[in-house]
Amino acid sequence: DIVMTQSPDSLAVSLGARATINCKSSRSLVDRSTGKDFLAWYQQKPGQPPKLLIRWASTRESGVSDRFTATGSGTDFALTISSLQAEDVAVYFCQQYYTSPVTFGPGTRVEI
């Protein structure tokens, strides 16, 4: 199985400041024929299911704030929240779907 790790486990950021979450996979997530990275990012708030923010490593979902930017390729990825707002308090997960079984990172808790 592909192992996904995230850092840090949690971070506290001031309102309006930048937050960056890192995600690393145990093997490359790039499909050589398409150049696409099979990596997604989710946001989960208490009592809610995860919400897809980013697919293909950097493609923002419709309706997701442009404060969320995702970068990276291969085995190293990052999700940046450019100006943290109160509604961004949540746990963030990365997920690889390059191969079955699909696996998730352990999550990063973002607080104010």
Beta carbon nearer to other proteins, 19 or 43 = 43
- Residue 4: beta bridge partners? 25
Q: Give the tokens for residue 37.
A: 């990275």
- Among 14-22, 69-77, 78-86, 100-108, which window interacts with other proteins (CB under 8 A)? 100-108
Contact 56, 37 (CB under 8 A): yes
Q: Is the dihedral of CA 80, 88, 42, 46 positive or negative?
A: positive
| Cα 15 off chain centre by | 20
- Told to check if 95 binds other proteins by CB under 8 A, we report yes
Q: Which of 11, 28, 51, 74 binds other proteins (CB under 8 A)?
A: 51
Answer for which of 16, 35, 46, 49 binds other proteins (CB under 8 A) is: 49
Q: Are 35 and 21 in contact (CB under 8 A)?
A: no
> Min. distance of Cβ 54 from other proteins in angstroms?
9
Residue type, 101: P
Q: Whose Cβ is closer to other proteins: residue 31's or residue 83's?
A: 31
With binding defined as CB under 8 A, does residue 97 bind other proteins? yes
